[in-house]
Structure 1
């Protein structure tokens, strides 16, 4: 018999972020050039982790509260963007080599995930965390 838990996934994965042209992103060096030793990355909680499950439950609870209050699940585009960002913030352990107005932690993540001009970042994170294969023990760092 084989213990099924040997196939368990890792709780986190690291995603090397890409720009809108699908090029890998790096923090700038002192001269403003990409520093290949400083990749811009997101360390993310996956579907097999407690933080991810907690984030899913919170999103579900927000929807249920809206249904109770309004009797329907209508949200504005701004509300939807904020809710999506809250989910991603909860699924983000850290952002590495990413700067935004000297913010850190959850504030940094939320700023990145709610800025429309860099909407390709939350889009790629959503895609990455929805794929269980990205959290397998043999999964390469993307």
Structure 2
């Protein structure tokens, strides 16, 4: 998970747009991002998605129509989304939200590459037990 960097931009506004499935975040440096819920979900910083180390990432699929059910504040440094597919273990720091917004095109391209390499369709359902198998989550 991206940490909080000293002097890094912080959110001035966060708006959930349910119909268009985007999280709009306006930052203190003037940047404004509309981050799709699907992108938030497939790049969740949780161990369930990222694993516990390099090479343990779990490729997320079938998340195109995921919604945000809730968005909980975490201190003064992050938010914790609750997604319609039940995923709720990712904590998104301000730095991570900024990265997801500013690198959206690169992240979509990397996701498309991972899907192609795995021979999996973006809309394929996740296999049952599709987590990383960590009993602590």
TM-score under structure 2 length normalisation: 0.28
Question: Which of these two proteins has the greater Rg computed from alpha carbons?
Answer: 1
**Larger relative CO (CA 8 A, sep 6+): 1 or 2?**
1
TM-score under structure 1 length normalisation: 0.27
